[in-house]
Amino acid sequence: MSHDISWAELARQARQAAEQAYAPYSKFPVGVAVLASSGRIYTGCNVENASYGGTTCAERNAIAAAVVAGERQFLALMVYTPQTQLTPPCGICRQVIAEFYAPDSPVRSCNHLEQQQEWRLDELLPSAFTPTYLANSSKI
């Protein structure tokens, strides 16, 4: 199923999600909007914890919400931070995105200045360890 990507709508929803971020330690709120192949948009924000290992990134929260709703494929992802520098997903989020995303799919970042930057997932995580990789790997 083909969908037009409304980056403006994804940016709006990601920004709105960032307003709900719980970031008392880093003071770095992040919001994400992910477009599923069904056409639905799911959002997430970062939720920090005093035990840093318990912190969950916005990307993983948005993808988890989509998975709970039965989604398994995503077409676009927008990260919003109210920082001047545009912020791509962190390493663990790149790996989680790769689980459900085509390598040439777009990942964008935007900020409060309405600037945007785009990457392909295979630029952010080359040679990703994914279900496709596992299916194509030889048995030991």
Domain of residue 121, CATH code: 3.40.140.10
Q: Kindly list the catalytic residues.
A: 59
Q: How many domains does the chain have?
A: 1
Residue 31 within a domain: yes
Distances (CA, A) of 24 to 36, 86, 89, 115: 30, 21, 20, 25
Q: Determine if residue 129 is left, alpha or beta; phi over 0 gives left, psi from -120 to 50 gives alpha, anything else beta.
A: beta
Query: Which tokens is 133 given?
Result: 């990789």
Name the pTM for this structure. Answer: 0.90
110-126 residue pLDDT tens: 999 999 999 999 999 99
Whether residue 140 is predicted with pLDDT greater than 70 in this model: the reply is no
What is the C-alpha to C-alpha distance for residues 12 and 44, in angstroms, rounded to an integer? 13
The range of the structural domain enclosing residue 56 comes to: 2-134
55-111 residue pLDDT tens: 999 999 999 999 999 999 999 999 999 999 999 999 999 999 999 988 888 999 999
Q: How confident is the model at residue 37 (pLDDT cuts 50, 70, 90)?
A: very high
Residue 140 within a domain: no
Residue 139 within a domain: no
| Burial (CB count within 10 angstroms: exposed 0-12, middle 13-18, buried 19+), residue 105 | buried
Residue 66 within a domain: yes
